[in-house]
Amino acid sequence: MTVNSQVLMYIVSEESFSDKAVIIKEGSIGDWVYVILEGRVKIKKQTSGGLLTVDTLSEGDFVGEMAMLKQGNSTRTASAVADGPVVLGLLDSVRLAQEWEAQPTRIKKVISNLIQNLEEVTKKAADMIIASK
Amino acid sequence: MTKNKEKIPPVVKLNYSKGDLIIKAGDYGKSIYEIISGKVGIFVESGGAETRVAILGPGMIVGEMAFISGNTGTRSASARALEDCWLEVWHPAILLNDYKKMPDVLRLIAGQALKIIVRMNKMVVELSLKQGKHKDRQTQKLSDQWADKRKLYRKMVSLKCVFRPANSPEELKIRGIIRDVSMGGLRITVDRLGFRNYIPIPGDELFVSTYFESNQKVNMTGKVVWLKKGGTDGTISLGMAFTQMDPDDRKSLGFFLMT
């Protein structure tokens, strides 16, 4: 998948990470969003059985969008770790936040809810993977 | 513009009892529900069994996935009232314009979230099928009992139709007007001369044909649930629950209800 040209216009800086570098740490605070320009990123969650990979994202995918679109708090719900060398584009968080805030209440509700569901199902999937091991 | 706005139905509040099915996986529909009170369970079906993937409470939204996916596919999961609850139903039209105007980036982010949810749901279902088969079978049985209690989005219309008892020859044609229709059934009014040759009773199966668009004929088969004499002009109303519909006709009905 290539990066959408509209998304490219939001990029304020490019950041490179080497294999296994931690891009975002679960539990930390922050609501900036990256788009993957090159390489792959593993999404990992802390479980009773240790750190577990729940998903792998690739070029064109967003990383860190959940904290931005959640209602109320910007705690990172999962870690993002480089899977090989990775180049990320950091999106203009001020512009994104302004555009997000300007959306009608119902739209915001629907998308926040989607993100909350994603958070819950990811947690559930992680727990079940551990339980099945 | 103003004409368009008038067509958009208002937000409706609906009351569901514990166990009622709110959304059924596989149905066509894009209405979004906000939970006002009570709890709603989200279930994904796989291999004939159901797995609960989420429990949602007041303030949360149900049914947004079909809306965000933007395609004309079917509901990916079922939603069921886990206790008595009130829901506010938003017709997708009230959101669609706003959603289209949203910056591409936000829409792409929402699209990615949806894609991952679908993937995670699948993973949860596969794992739970491996872990406890007997429990799922029980859920499946319950869902059969509940299937008929669904409250479906009902569209008020005034559509000419012809119908006849399902087992009668095709020449018999009774003319009526469809007054409202949902994925579950419809209501027809027939003037007093309509039933000269045949008077239906509850339980009779009827075969109904109508046109949703000028050239799109749709056939529906269903059982008469109730009959009522209305007003002084002798008009008769009948309510019918669908028992059989061709997949293409079902799809046409789904689209018709969305627009």
B125 touches chain A (CB under 8 A): no
| Confidence grade of residue B178 (pLDDT, cut at 50, 70, 90) | very high
Same domain, B70 and B164: no
User: Minimal CA–CA distance to B88: which of B39, B36, B19?
Assistant: B36
Backbone φ, ψ for residue B94 (5° rounding): -70, -15
Options 2.60.40.420, 3.40.50.300, 2.60.120.10, 2.40.40.20; CATH of A5-132: 2.60.120.10
Whether B135 shows a pLDDT value over 90: the answer reads no
Which neighbouring-strand residues pair with B72?
none
User: Can you give the pLDDT at residue B8?
Assistant: 55
Contact check, Cβ <8 Å, B64/A4: no
Residue B99 domain boundaries: 2-149
State mean pLDDT over A65-76.
Answer: 82
User: Can you give the pLDDT at residue A10?
Assistant: 95
| Confidence grade of residue B145 (pLDDT, cut at 50, 70, 90) | very low
Tokens of residue A103, six digits: 């959306």
State mean pLDDT over B244-250.
Answer: 86
Residue A56's closest chain B neighbor by CA? B116
The tens digit of pLDDT for each residue in A78-132 reads: 999 999 999 999 999 999 999 999 999 989 999 998 888 888 888 888 888 888 7
Same domain, B124 and B198: no
From A115's Cα to the closest Cα of chain B, the distance in A is 7
R_g of chain B computed on alpha carbons: 20
- Domain CATH for B162: 2.40.10.220
B97 touches chain A (CB under 8 A): no
Query: What average pLDDT does chain B have?
Result: 80
Same domain, B58 and B124: yes
Amino acid present at B202: P
The residues near B225 (Cβ < 8 Å, ≥ 6 apart) are B185, B202, B239, B240, B241
| Confidence grade of residue B142 (pLDDT, cut at 50, 70, 90) | very low
Chain B residues touching residue A94 (CB < 8 angstroms): none
Contact check, Cβ <8 Å, B104/A125: no
Same domain, B100 and B119: yes
Same domain, B211 and B132: no
Whether A26 shows a pLDDT value over 90: the answer reads yes
Whether B154 shows a pLDDT value over 80: the answer reads no
Same domain, B32 and B56: yes
Tokens of residue B190, six digits: 């027939």
Whether B232 shows a pLDDT value over 50: the answer reads yes
Looking at B139-148, B205-214, B228-237, which range is the least confident one?
A: B139-148
Whether B151 shows a pLDDT value over 80: the answer reads no
Whether A16 shows a pLDDT value over 70: the answer reads yes
Cα B246 from Cα B236, distance rounded (Å): 28
Same domain, B91 and B207: no
| Confidence grade of residue B26 (pLDDT, cut at 50, 70, 90) | confident
A90 touches chain B (CB under 8 A): no
State mean pLDDT over B87-103.
Answer: 86
Contact check, Cβ <8 Å, B60/A120: no
Amino acid present at B116: I
Candidates B53, B106, B128; nearest CB to A99: B106
The residues near B169 (Cβ < 8 Å, ≥ 6 apart) are none
Please, which residues 1-20 of chain A have a Cβ atom closer than 8 Å to chain B?
4, 6-7, 10
Cα A16 from Cα A38, distance rounded (Å): 9
Same domain, B194 and B229: yes
Single out the residue in B96, B114, B149 at which a domain terminates: B149
Contact check, Cβ <8 Å, B123/A62: no
Single out the residue in B149, B179, B208 at which a domain terminates: B149
Whether B228 contacts B203, CB under 8 Å: no
Contact check, Cβ <8 Å, A7/B104: yes
Same domain, B145 and B186: no
Q: What percent of chain B has pLDDT over 90?
A: 24
Q: What is the pTM of this model?
A: 0.65
Backbone φ, ψ for residue B21 (5° rounding): -85, 130
Looking at B69-73, B140-144, B203-207, which range is the least confident one?
A: B140-144
Same domain, B140 and B186: no
Whether B58 shows a pLDDT value over 90: the answer reads yes
Question: How many structural domains does chain B have?
Answer: 2
- Strand-strand pairing, B61-62 and B174-181: unpaired
Same domain, B167 and B193: yes
| Confidence grade of residue B258 (pLDDT, cut at 50, 70, 90) | confident
Chain A residues touching residue B117 (CB < 8 angstroms): 114, 117-118, 121
Single out the residue in B114, B149, B184 at which a domain terminates: B149
Whether A19 contacts A40, CB under 8 Å: no
Long-range CB contacts (within 8 A, 24+) of A116-119: A116/A70, A116/A71, A116/B60, A117/B42, A117/B54, A117/B117, A118/A66, A118/B113, A118/B116, A118/B117, A118/B120, A119/A66, A119/A70, A119/A77
Looking at A65-69, B20-24, B67-71, which range is the least confident one?
A: B67-71
State mean pLDDT over A42-57.
Answer: 90
The residues near B207 (Cβ < 8 Å, ≥ 6 apart) are B163, B164, B165, B166, B219, B220, B221
Domain range summary for chain A, segments of one domain joined by +: 5-132
User: Can you give the pLDDT at residue B9?
Assistant: 59
- Domain CATH for B58: 2.60.120.10
Same domain, B165 and B249: yes
How buried is residue B229: exposed, middle or buried, by Cβ count under 10 Å (0-12/13-18/19+)?
exposed
The ipTM, to two decimals, is 0.91
